Amino acid sequence: MSKINPMTHFDSMSGKYSKTDKVYTKIRKFDEQVIGIRLKHPATNEPPSAAQLNAQNKFKAVYAQVKTTLADPAQKATYKEKWLKQRKCKTLTGYVFRELYNAEQQGGNNG
């Protein structure tokens, strides 16, 4: 008789069962076994802290810069040339975001 191996169409999955659930479930495939891990849910119903709001605003500002930078054909060509020479970022948008975010971070630390 043959052995039946159930197919899993995912490597990992995570989430909550309901909005009111405080338990976070993570399911992973490890050594051909599916393992479920129950963790405390990282999100709470508390409002974001000042540091979290600053981080959100920084991401929004940098993403707005990315949009304006990629809208300009000359700047887009310059960044595309640099992007093609590297292997870390898979998308041009991600590369430009990384460059602008790092530049802002260095400017914020120095000034």
52 pLDDT tier (thresholds 50, 70, 90): confident
pLDDT at residue 65 greater than cutoff 90: yes
Q: Which of 56, 71, 58, 72 is nearest to 100 (CA)?
A: 58
92 contacts: CB under 8 Å, gap ≥ 6: 70, 76, 79, 80, 83
List residues bridging with 12 in a β-sheet: 28
Residue 48, both tokens: 């974001």
d(CA 56, CA 60): 6
Reported pTM: 0.57
